[in-house]
């Protein structure tokens, strides 16, 4: 149960439900991730990092990025345009269709993505350092299942 004097999920009481804890934890992790990425030599937003990672993984069309992110084309196009302007991505006509633009990481984009990935890896290692292997083995399957259930709900929209 949340404390009623703040009317937020940021302060959890001893009787907090699982849902309340998950919402509060998600918010706190997002805030920490946002601050971490903003403090990098090449600051990125979470959305920018995800786009760079997805393009690096081979999802090089705006359509593919929209589908993965569950975003509309205008929103994704705006984000991609900013990354192109900043020099993280380049845009070229596709070899198979001149009407389709293909995105590619620039050297600056690869460096920014890799730096962010290392920072996130360090953060997650520190975050879970105090957990015993037994606790990790119990938590990971449950959280993975919850993640995929939530993802399925997004896919249905």
The 3-state DSSP class for residue 55 equals helix
pLDDT tens digits along 37-80: 999 999 999 999 999 999 999 999 998 999 888 889 999 999 99
Six token digits for residue 17: 């439900």
Q: Kindly report, residue by residue over 130-145, the tens digit of the pLDDT.
A: 999 999 999 999 999 9
The torsion region of residue 72 among left (phi > 0), alpha (psi -120 to 50) and beta comes to beta
Whole-prediction pTM:
0.82
> Judging by beta carbons within 10 Å of its beta carbon (0-12, 13-18, 19+), is residue 105 exposed, middle or buried?
buried
Side-chain half-sphere CA neighbours of 70 within 13 A: 8
Q: Within a 10 A sphere around the Cβ of 64, how many other Cβ atoms?
A: 16
Q: How many angstroms separate the CA atoms of 82 and 36, rounded?
A: 20
């Amino acid at each position: 149960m949340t404390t009623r004097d703040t009317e937020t999920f940021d302060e959890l009481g001893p009787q907090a439900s699982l849902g309340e804890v998950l919402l509060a934890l998600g918010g706190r992790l997002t805030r920490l991730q946002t601050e971490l990425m903003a403090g990098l030599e090449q600051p990125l937003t979470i959305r920018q990092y995800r786009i760079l990672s997805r393009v690096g993984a081979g999802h090089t069309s705006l359509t593919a990025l929209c589908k993965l992110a569950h975003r509309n084309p205008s929103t994704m196009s705006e984000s991609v345009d900013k990354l192109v302007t900043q020099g993280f991505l380049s845009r070229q006509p596709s070899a198979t269709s001149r009407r389709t633009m293909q995105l590619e990481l620039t050297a600056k984009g690869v460096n920014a993505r890799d730096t962010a990935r290392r920072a996130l890896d360090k953060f997650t290692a520190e975050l879970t350092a105090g957990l015993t292997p037994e606790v990790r083995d119990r938590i990971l399957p449950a959280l993975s299942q919850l993640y995929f259930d939530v993802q399925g709900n997004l896919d249905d929209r």
